[in-house]
Amino acid sequence: MRVANKGLVDRSKPVSFRFDGTSYAGFAGDTVASALLANEVRLMGRSFKYHRPRGVITAGSEEPNALITTGSGAQAEPNVRATVQEIYDGLVTRSQNAWPSLGFDVMAVNDLASGFLGAGFYYKTFMWPKKFWEAVYEPIIRKAAGLGALSGAHNPDTYERAYAFCDLLVIGAGPAGLMAALTAARSGADVILADEDALMGGRLNAETLEVAGKPGHIWAAETVAELAAMENVRLMTRTTVTGAYDGGMYGAVERVSQHRPLRGAAPLETFWRIAARQSILAAGALERPVAFQNNDRPGIMTASAVRSYLNRWGVSPGKQVAIFGNNDDAHRTARDLRAAGVHVAAVIDSRHDADIEGTDYPVYRGAQVCNSGGRMELESISLRTTSGIVNIQADCLAVSGGWNPTVHMTCHMNGRPTWSPAIQAFVPTVGSVPDMTAAGACNGVFSTHGCLEAGQQAAVAALGALGRKIAAVDLPQAEDSPYNLSPLWAVAGKGRAWLDFQNDVSVKDVKQAAVENFRSVEHMKRYTTQGMATDQGKSSNVMALAVLADATGRGIPETGTTTFRPPYVPVAIAAMGAGAQGKGFAPERLTTSHAQSVRMGAPMIEAGLWYRPSYFPRGDERTWRQSCDREVGFVRNTVGVCDVSTLGKIDIQGPDAAALLDFVYTNMFSTLKVGRVRYGLMLREDGHVMDDGTCARLGETRYLMTTTTAAAGAVMRHLEFVTQCLHPEWQVKITSVTEHWAQFAVAGPQARTLVNGLLDQPIDNESWPFMACGPATVLGVAGRLFRISFSGEHAYEVAVPARYGASLFGELVRRAEGLGGGAYGMEALNVLRIEKGHITHAEIHGRTTAFDIGMGRMVSDKKDCIGKTMSERPGLMDPEREQLVGLRPIGAVKQLSAGAHLFDSGAEAVAENDQGYVTSVGFSPDVGTFIGLGFVQRGPERYGEAMRMVDHLRGLEAEVEICAPVFVDPEGGRTRG
Amino acid sequence: MGELQAARPWAERLDVSIGRSALVEVDLGHLTVLAPFGAEAGMTEALSAAHGLGFPKPNRATGKDGGRCIWFGRGEALLIGPAPDASLADHGASVDVLDAWAAVSLSGAAAVDVLARLVPVDLREGAFKRGHSIRTQVMHMSASITRTGKDSFLILVFRSMAGTLSHDLKQAMAAVAARG
Amino acid sequence: MRINCPICGDRDRREYYYQGAAVTLDRPAPDAEEAVWEDYLHLRENPAGRTRDLWHHEGGCGAWVVVTRDTVSHKIFEVALAADVKGAAR
């Protein structure tokens, strides 16, 4: 119920939203949880395993119970914490894990069977028969147990990534964080202050404490206002720092639009990568519950949550509130409720010696709550007192078992927290994360004064490390009350007392794990599932450890804790992968002929990041093969044009350019004449082939290297490696010019006719023989002309600066068509090169040597080169190795298949009989059948031999003959005419 | 005989303003990679004599609109604007890369926030001042970024990725603007 | 993770390409013994502690750098230009 004159919500702005189909009213500033409680809705979800009715037990991001789904359709977002989701007009939410309704959930029958469903139940019951696990058990279990479900539809929401940088990152804007940020900011440091709440201030917004003689939330608001006005400060609200990483990197997720009815182009969330030279963790502490029988009934929550709802949101979670605690905070809760006019039914203080005077509410010292009653919600509690069981009517029970510092981030780089007996909790171990200091409640300091002081001290230390002068900032006056606590983890008794609400793990389950010898805390976690899922044991961890410690007869420090890993709160995968949706996945590299190719109807295929035309369909062609055959015919019979700009082009200049090329290629380039091109083969240092291509000598100290499209980046990196890491003394400069030049192959008997139509100075075989290159004026533009051939025909490559590429491609295609030819795509290019036995990365796939591809003699014996020594190992020149051959079908099946394996005729097609494999296939119009390239043991000795080709994947078998890997013009005369 | 027509990296002229940032394609004139062999002194002198520009130190640029020389990587600079004087080639590699790069100018009060979505480097004015020029990445693309004014940046990526660059920038501009 | 490039300054790890142990700086002579080549190519220490490896600042200035770092704490002690390291060794 809403309490008059309390809370920081804006009562002038009513907001309407829906939960499970019903419309509710709240105010701007409410969360779904606070607004539902204001409407006296306490039942908000069903538990994971037993489908028990559950309500909120916290008021923050640690909430294990109140998980809801927001939105609808493809944009539905499951597992949103009702304690975090701010309401806005039109917000639609619904409960999860209940069918047909939250009030009547069929699967609650699980709860009756709980005797059989305890820890390890799945492991023991669903073991046999083994094959039933995937087929039967798992689907059923997954359906019955679980959280919210994804829609299964493509989510149109956008997410965003972003980078931020600062001298000092302050994580958390409670008293410690605000004081740290203020001290650092006034000292001129570049500060980021991040807080997961929409409203900065932390517990100052949820308590009635004073700072500097004014209400804490007023001091917080004033401090935030001062920080907001400073240029060197960036305030990040609704931003949870989720992880600490190497080198001062932090991950953070910002809820950008979840609270906005209209998002426009704004992302739903932004995942920040923050680089900080120093950081201060001021993440506060989380109050822990106490385990007792039926302590999960809606209406039972932490005492701090009750105060948050009351003081921050002006809502009392009940009309008759009882309070159960083992520390002084219990009484703070009672005082706040009384002051707000809420009936306090009783305070049950487990401490016999609690030093409490002059209360105006009933106090039971040395008593414990041992059970709760009610149907869907809390109606009564039972106390075990020195004089027996007492029953009290209450619709809300505030529980305080003490506070756990939020140490999580300090453990993200393998740090382990330290047990503090004084506060019966873990505190951060100093130095766990380099350049991070924990301050305030997350470091075990619980008074407001202590937090303010610790924040300031941490800032002073960070400023010192940053080498900055420190501005004097007065420490405001605040309470400094001691934290008196007497440990109480679980109330003894029958029945199930819950530790982990999200995973339905009870005290009994943890004890059972110990009995079955899952004594290690990591084993207990996996056996019971305690500490799993979205809350990662934020409220249950220390309680469960204490119970395990007790059950195994050890202390808590000896028992240890499980490992806290990033992220601190759940982060959508979509947020981490933000920017990678659709076109953001990878850059698209488009050639200058792209637009025309698309206009011509060519399907574009990806070649690395590039897009290249597969084929150019015409008129009545119904299959790609028809187009491909025609395009192969252009090149063999008239003239074809193909964009080859995607091949890597590297300009290599300097006095030592020739030395570099002699070192990276197996063959000689220092002897190449200016104005000539040579084919080159490049090895890796281990003797296997890395790449191949042509290299042109443009001048005495200048070359132009061509790489394959696929290896362009790797070759560039390799050249830089050689010139920086092996021979930094060489004077040579390497520049990628791939993108500067648009380059087109013009191939076929009519190639020279076509080319001469473009050139200012026509060429003939004398002036421009095979493997000649040089500058040429192409339709008035300074370009380059290379007489090289990948197709085996008389061919040229014409290069012009990229701005003229589209225009030149248009001209080339038009003129080729005029000669009875035209454009050809990747399919035809592939057939043409297979017909000539020219290799691509299908053949030089990383496991083949120069010897294997029949180029052993290209490894010059006149010089050293990368890979030479290793290529000479006997094993890499063994005649038994699989070597390059041609393949043609000779049986009834005329189809060949790349990836198929080769076996002796009559041999069983199994691995031990494997003789080789097929790397490339294509239909050759010239040969009239499919042809292929492949590798066969002792291949070159076996021309004419018949083999079995078996493709187990495609279910294809054919009889093939081994032949020389050149199918067309074996003498190579066509290139030279 | 036909004549070749020059085309820009973008089919449609790129000129878009969203919120407090504006994106426009720029024609920079000539682009030439200058890479001295060994010592930089000769190149520095020749550059100064021919073009009145200093050879930039790492992460810096010299000159201004119309004639600029930006650091372009280890041992390299990019001469922007004038056609390179022949004397430069005596002191190192001089490579014409005029058409290798697509260039845009991103400007406006939100420009630095837009770039924070795409570039993993601190480009705020305190860390990246006018006359600073770096090699980095825009999303997955290798890029050069130079601060040319209080709120303006010159961004270069390979020409083939011009479409991806404008897509990524426009998306980031819209997302920043939509935050209000 | 961040690597402080001697040329570009402190940069995000995503700008770098990881190669492997800096052993590859010391290429054996072509006629060195088989064992020396085997060491160079295939055998690597796997220390829990200080290690040296090569990274390429591919998304930045293009420099190859030698990074000395601790595989346990992930602390980076030194980042040097490979060309300088190699030059100093000559």
pLDDT, tens only, A733-761: 999 999 999 999 999 999 999 999 999 99
Between CA A594 and CA A806 the distance in angstroms is 8
**Partners for A (CB, 8 Å, 3+ pairs)?**
B, C
A128 — pLDDT class (breaks 50, 70, 90): low
Q: At what angle do helices A216-228 and A175-186 cross, to 10 degrees?
A: 30
Identify which of C7, C59, C62 has the shortest CB distance to residue B137: C59
pLDDT of residue A328: 87
Which tokens sit at C36? 């020396």
Q: What number of other Cβ atoms are within 10 A of residue A268's Cβ?
A: 23
Between CA A49 and CA A849 the distance in angstroms is 59
CA A874 from centre of chain: 45
Distances (CA, A) of C52 to C11, C18, C27, C45: 18, 12, 16, 10
| pLDDT mean over A185-192 | 98
Between CA A915 and CA A438 the distance in angstroms is 65
Residue A264 contacts residue A466 (beta carbons within 8 Å): no
Considering only CA atoms, which of A706, A528, A709 is closest in space to residue A607?
A709
Q: Which domain holds residue C36?
A: 2-89
Q: What number of other Cβ atoms are within 10 A of residue A73's Cβ?
A: 9
Residue A693 contacts residue A678 (beta carbons within 8 Å): no
With beta carbons under 8 A apart, name residues in chain C contacting A686.
41
A365-410 pLDDT per residue, tens: 999 999 999 989 999 999 999 889 999 999 999 999 999 999 999 9
Between CA B66 and CA B51 the distance in angstroms is 11
Identify which of A249, A720, A868 has the shortest CB distance to residue C56: A720
**How distant is the Cα of A266 from the closest Cα of chain B, in angstroms?**
5
| pLDDT mean over A449-461 | 98
With beta carbons under 8 A apart, name residues in chain B contacting A643.
none
pLDDT of residue A150: 83
Q: What number of other Cβ atoms are within 10 A of residue A937's Cβ?
A: 16
Between CA A64 and CA A49 the distance in angstroms is 13
Residue A745 region by backbone torsions, left for phi larger than 0, else alpha for psi between -120 and 50, else beta: beta
Q: Measured between CB atoms, does A782 come within 8 Å of chain B?
A: no
Q: Is the peptide bond before A417 cis (omega within 30 degrees of 0)?
A: no
A124 — pLDDT class (breaks 50, 70, 90): low
- Going along chain A from its start, the domains and CATH numbers come out as 1-152 (3.10.20.440), 159-285+405-466 (3.50.50.60), 291-400 (3.50.50.60), 600-616+623-646+740-833 (3.30.1360.120), 648-736 (3.30.70.1400), 878-977 (2.40.30.110)
Q: What number of other Cβ atoms are within 10 A of residue A588's Cβ?
A: 18
With beta carbons under 8 A apart, name residues in chain A contacting C75.
434
**How distant is the Cα of C25 from the closest Cα of chain A, in angstroms?**
6
Number of B to C CB contacts under 8 A, please give it: 36
Considering only CA atoms, which of A950, A840, A829, A841 is closest in space to residue A887?
A950
Q: Measured between CB atoms, does A162 come within 8 Å of chain B?
A: yes
| pLDDT mean over A449-463 | 98
Q: Could you give the residue ranges of the DSSP H alpha helices within A149-241?
A: 175-186, 216-228
Considering only CA atoms, which of A156, A148, A151 is closest in space to residue A268?
A156
Between CA A298 and CA A375 the distance in angstroms is 9
Residue B1 has pLDDT above 60, yes or no: no
A134 — pLDDT class (breaks 50, 70, 90): low
**How distant is the Cα of C74 from the closest Cα of chain A, in angstroms?**
7
3-state secondary structure of A241: strand
Q: How far apart are the first and last CA of chain C?
A: 32
Distances (CA, A) of A258 to A70, A262, A616, A748, C64: 9, 10, 48, 62, 44
B6-55 pLDDT per residue, tens: 999 999 999 999 999 999 999 999 999 999 998 889 999 999 999 999 99
Between CA B141 and CA A579 the distance in angstroms is 13
B74 — pLDDT class (breaks 50, 70, 90): very high
**Dihedrals phi, psi of B167, to nearest 5 degrees:** -60, -50
Domain B30-96 sits in CATH 3.30.70.1520: yes
A144 — pLDDT class (breaks 50, 70, 90): low
Instruction: Answer whether C74 sits within 8 Å of A413, measured CB to CB.
Output: yes
Convert A86-102 to b/e letters by CB count within 10 Å (16 or more is b).
bbbeebebbbbbbeeeb
Q: Is the torsion defined by CA of A458, A463, A469, A473 positive or negative?
A: negative
Instruction: Answer whether B175 sits within 8 Å of A266, measured CB to CB.
Output: yes
Residue A938 contacts residue A879 (beta carbons within 8 Å): yes
Q: DSSP code of A309? A: I
Domain B15-27+99-178 sits in CATH 2.30.30.230: no
Q: DSSP code of C44? A: -
Residue position matching structure tokens 């007996």: A421
pLDDT of residue A357: 77
Identify which of A246, A720, A870 has the shortest CB distance to residue C64: A720
Instruction: Answer whether A729 sits within 8 Å of C87, measured CB to CB.
Output: yes
% pLDDT > 90, chain A: 86
Instruction: Pick the residue of A590, A643, A646 with the most B CBs within 10 A to test the interface with B by mutation.
Output: A590
Residue A123 has pLDDT above 70, yes or no: no
Residue position matching structure tokens 């309490």: A3
Residue A643 contacts residue A612 (beta carbons within 8 Å): yes
Q: How far apart are the first and last CA of chain A?
A: 96
With beta carbons under 8 A apart, name residues in chain C contacting B136.
8, 11, 15, 59-60
| pLDDT mean over A16-39 | 97
Instruction: Answer whether B136 sits within 8 Å of C15, measured CB to CB.
Output: yes
Q: Which residues contact B163 (CB under 8 A, 6 or more apart)?
A: A588, A590, B10
Residue A631 contacts residue A614 (beta carbons within 8 Å): no
Q: Measured between CB atoms, does A878 come within 8 Å of chain C?
A: no
The full set of domain ranges for chain B reads 15-27+99-178, 30-96
Residue A343 contacts residue A320 (beta carbons within 8 Å): yes
Q: Is the peptide bond before A603 cis (omega within 30 degrees of 0)?
A: no
3-state secondary structure of A521: helix
A112 — pLDDT class (breaks 50, 70, 90): confident
Residue A282 contacts residue A442 (beta carbons within 8 Å): yes
A130 — pLDDT class (breaks 50, 70, 90): low
**How distant is the Cα of C51 from the closest Cα of chain A, in angstroms?**
16
Residue A175 contacts residue A455 (beta carbons within 8 Å): yes
Q: Measured between CB atoms, does A584 come within 8 Å of chain B?
A: yes
With beta carbons under 8 A apart, name residues in chain A contacting C15.
none
3-state secondary structure of A212: coil
Which own/partner pairs from A327-330 qualify as long-range (CB within 8 Å, at least 24 positions apart)? A327/A351, A327/A400, A327/A402, A327/A483, A327/A484, A327/A485, A327/A486, A328/A481, A328/A482, A328/A483, A328/A484, A328/A485, A329/A287, A329/A303, A329/A304, A329/A400, A329/A403, A330/A303, A330/A398, A330/A400
**How distant is the Cα of C3 from the closest Cα of chain A, in angstroms?**
8
Instruction: Answer whether C62 sits within 8 Å of B136, measured CB to CB.
Output: no
Identify which of A163, A190, A800 has the shortest CB distance to residue B4: A800
For residue B157, what are the β-bridge partners? B102, B143
Q: Could you give the residue ranges of the DSSP H alpha helices within A356-489?
A: 448-466
Residue A48 contacts residue A145 (beta carbons within 8 Å): yes
A598-629 pLDDT per residue, tens: 999 999 999 999 999 999 999 999 999 999 99
Residue position matching structure tokens 């030479």: A868
B83-141 pLDDT per residue, tens: 999 999 999 999 999 999 999 999 999 999 999 999 999 999 999 999 999 999 999 99
| pLDDT mean over A136-164 | 79
Between CA A28 and CA A11 the distance in angstroms is 7
**CATH number of the domain encompassing residue C55:** 3.30.2270.10
**How distant is the Cα of A705 from the closest Cα of chain B, in angstroms?**
14
A889-925 pLDDT per residue, tens: 999 999 999 999 999 999 999 999 999 999 999 999 9
